[in-house]
Structure 1
Amino acid sequence: MEEASGMVIVGGVRGGALTTDERTAIAAAVNVILYHCEVERTVGKMKAVVRARRKVTALPSSGEGLDLGGVSDAVLQVCYAMGSDAFRRATPRWWMKRRTGGTWEDLRQCDDTTDEYFRDKLRMSPRVFREIGETLSPYLQRRVTFYRVPLQPDHIVAYALYRWASGETYDIGTCSFGIGRASGITAVRDVTATLLAAYPDKIPWPTGLQKAVVLRAFADKGFPDCHGCIDCTHIYIDKPANANGEDYCDRKRRFSVQAQVVVDMNLRVYDIFVGYPGSVHDMRMLHLSCLWERAESGQLFTSPHVMLPFAVRTNGYLLGDNGYPQSEWIVVPYEGLAQHPTEAWFDNKQKTARGAVERAFGRLKGMWRLFLRTHKCNMDTLPQQFIAVCILHNILIGGGIPFDDNLLWEVGPDGVRRRVDLGMHAPLRSVCMESSTGDTLILRDALAERMGAQ
């Protein structure tokens, strides 16, 4: 035993027991052998089970006489072919939710789910988005530097549209787009500036054929030579920093900024004036705007005169509520408790036609929900952003993008579903001015008489 257990070292034999390292090495070798034997035994059992199942599957079935083995093989082959793209599937189906790398990566997919996804996230179709992106790309192109690869123009445009459409803050909305807060602020600012530069004629006063279409639409409603409807809306904001909060507090005790717009029957915006605090009255907004200066100087309404009853001539006017004074170019309703039937009929027709401005605000704010909710904003860029979304508003109307009325409803904190607040404050009382006599009132009377005669 001593000779058997001895270790040969440099031609000699050393007797004695095995060392600790030697016993450890032998034990490890034995464990490896046992492990391999166990693996081989397990694999053998699995192969036997598979062979048994194949024999059972290959047996002919009773009843309808179907070959279950053949059917199983066929199903496996079809699944394999689909998985290996042997059968090219054009697009995912509606019940399949495709999510790859966030909102921006999903928007870049090209299949039949993209249209609906674009309308939900960006309020437009991929075609309209590509047209806008191609128009803005020359203004948004960035140079590659040693520090980083710049964002592509379509990525910048998509983020700005997503922020305006969703109403999310920078901290929340940047995660799915892969844009940091600073880059998000820069993207919105750049897209705002480029929209104003690339579409200088998207908020024009109607002229030519467009003007004829506008006048015809209002004439069909009983208002010949009418150029549009005028009204104001409040854009709700957080209390602005470094400013007097009382100036921005409206009569509902909410902080807001006023926006005055003129729209036609197709809800297009043709004039906009925005930026004054929410405490400013609608009439004051009108007097501060360029619209008042152009109308009073005779530069706004230049169409040929139209003859009305009582030998009244008019070459253009707007429809407004009683928050505006009756003038030679703004027609407001009569209102009052004891109205003549002609006056009541006129007020009903005037309110129906003037409803275009409320529908325009509903579509505008319903799609671009950032201006529907209270949010923290930069007071220096807010007016430009609102003008930018008005440009988008006109582009989408021209592109035939429909509006989902469900966007005008939301669930409140109490769980009750109600219509959203569009920020349109009805006047508490009619504006009475000493100048609203004589020639300024005769226009409304002539229109009411014309409606009664018809």
Structure 2
Amino acid sequence: MLKRPVRGQKKRKEVHKKLKPSNMACGSSEKSSPDWFDALAKKIASNLDSRPSKGLDSFKCVFKMSRRTFEYICSLAREHMAVKTHFAFSNGKPMSLYDQVALALNRLSSGRSLVSIGDAFGTSQSTVSQVTWRFVEAIEMNGHQHIRWPSTENELMDIKSQFEQIQGLPNCCGAIDTTHIVILLSTSKRRTDVWLDSKENYSMPLQAIVGPNLKFLDIFSGLPGMLNESSLLPYSSFYDKCQKGERLNGKKIKLSQQAELQEYVVGDSAYPLLPWLLTPYQGNDLSQTKVDFNKHHLATRVVAQRALARLKDVWKMIDGVVCRPDKHKLPSFIFVCCILHNIVIDMEDEVLEELPLYHCHDPGYGQDFCDSADVTASVSRDNLALYLSERNHP
């Protein structure tokens, strides 16, 4: 199952329903209250031996989001999760929507086993599995609009402006990077090496194009780990659209009287150099102009590294090793974790100020190199490097 870029208008829905108190001891009512939030967070933190981080209350520490964002996510999941199946705690008390969403979010964010989550919530591992999958279906269906390529010129201009403020790269529309979701396959399923990557891990790569605010603009996953960055790229619809001139086809800017620069994204040396994908110069014997370009380039594309590192740090189910996953469902779990990452940003959640920024999202994986270089792209990169040099050293 391949995840394709999604189009649609971003909607920030607020949940304005008045919440009523509930008894958390054996589950909650369909509506909730501040007491419910606190009791739930403390209960989970106690059972999972989780301690509040500095600056975060127990709820934000457990769920990595504010209560306002939690309620918005509940509004996205409500309709789908209310259909057909009714879940209950081990004592027979029915689970409310809030209970189910809390369980699913904790499963995705903690990365704990089904048994551990079940013990924390007072339910079976089977219920944990079913509730989590029902939640993933709901968010995949009703939250996909939070991951989309900018649909208006003003949105794209804003992204370009923010990128240029980072390190001066003009007309840049995104940063691309790939991370590996490492998986542990059962012995009976290890019949092929197609899932083995360059580090001899079974994995599923996730390719992401990231905006200056660490928001995912486009993601692609679902293929086996044998594909590195350069070989994975052509399978994505992002590549297909760019090659056909359907994306990154906006207004060119003048770097000089003779040179123009089209819209592009930046990526590391593992990617091919293309007119719409600018990579750094390779080699040790580089001119000062090229060295300076590489510094600007690295400082710009670091947003993709930070976004993927935060994704894995917050949504730990896809960090570390995913134990015996259903490879047909795993892309949906990855997709939903990316949606949730974006929702926290779209909601301008105050928890963002407390989340750390890391760069490393693929520990143990070294830098790959791709020698493929388009001639036109090489000229564009040279022109941009010269432009930056002249501007910084007039």
TM-score by length of 2: 0.79
Distance change in 2, residues 1:198/1:168 (3 Å): same
Counterpart CA distance in 1 for 2:95 and 2:45 is 12
SS of structure 2 residue aligned to 1:205: coil
Following TM superposition, by how much is the alpha carbon of 1:115 offset from its aligned partner in structure 2, in angstroms? 6.5
Map of 1:299-338 to 2, 5 A cutoff? 299-309=246-256, 311-338=258-285
Map of 1:188-337 to 2, 5 A cutoff? 188-208=132-152, 209-220=154-165, 221-239=167-185, 242-309=189-256, 311-337=258-284
Following TM superposition, by how much is the alpha carbon of 1:171 offset from its aligned partner in structure 2, in angstroms? 1.3
Distance change in 2, residues 1:356/1:424 (3 Å): farther
State the partner residue of 1:137.
Answer: 78
Following TM superposition, by how much is the alpha carbon of 1:299 offset from its aligned partner in structure 2, in angstroms? 0.8
Counterpart CA distance in 1 for 2:41 and 2:266 is 50
SS of structure 2 residue aligned to 1:201: helix
Check conservation: 1:115, 1:126, Cα contact below 8 A: no
TM-score by length of 1: 0.69
State the partner residue of 2:337.
Answer: 389
State the partner residue of 1:439.
Answer: 376
Following TM superposition, by how much is the alpha carbon of 1:243 offset from its aligned partner in structure 2, in angstroms? 4.8
Counterpart CA distance in 2 for 1:283 and 1:242 is 27
User: Unpaired segments of 5 or more residues in structure 2?
Assistant: 1-33, 48-54
Instruction: Tell me the alpha carbon deviations over residues 376-412 of structure 1, each in whole angstroms, 9 at most, x when there is no partner.
Output: 122111111111011110111122332655696xxxx
Check conservation: 1:141, 1:152, Cα contact below 8 A: no
Check conservation: 1:230, 1:262, Cα contact below 8 A: yes
Whose RCO is larger (CA < 8 A, sep 6+)?
2
Q: Once the two structures are aligned, what percentage of the paired residues are identical? A: 23
- For residue 128 of structure 1, the aligned residue among 39, 48, 69 is 69
Following TM superposition, by how much is the alpha carbon of 1:272 offset from its aligned partner in structure 2, in angstroms? 0.4
Amino acid at match of 2:105: L
- For residue 369 of structure 1, the aligned residue among 305, 316, 326 is 316
Amino acid at match of 1:375: V
SS of structure 2 residue aligned to 1:237: strand
SS of structure 2 residue aligned to 1:452: helix
In the alignment of these two chains, the number of paired residues is: 341
State the partner residue of 2:389.
Answer: 452
Following TM superposition, by how much is the alpha carbon of 1:337 offset from its aligned partner in structure 2, in angstroms? 1.1
State the partner residue of 1:402.
Answer: 352
Check conservation: 2:275, 2:374, Cα contact below 8 A: no
Q: Which has the larger radius of gyration?
A: 1
Root mean square deviation of aligned Cα: 3.0
Amino acid at match of 1:242: K
- For residue 293 of structure 2, the aligned residue among 340, 346, 349 is 346
User: Unpaired segments of 5 or more residues in structure 1?
Assistant: 1-90, 107-113, 409-418
Amino acid at match of 1:303: G
- For residue 425 of structure 1, the aligned residue among 365, 378, 392 is 365
Check conservation: 2:229, 2:271, Cα contact below 8 A: yes
Counterpart CA distance in 1 for 2:363 and 2:297 is 21
Instruction: Tell me the alpha carbon deviations over residues 98-125 of structure 1, each in whole angstroms, 9 at most, x when there is no partner.
Output: 789943999xxxxxxx971112211111
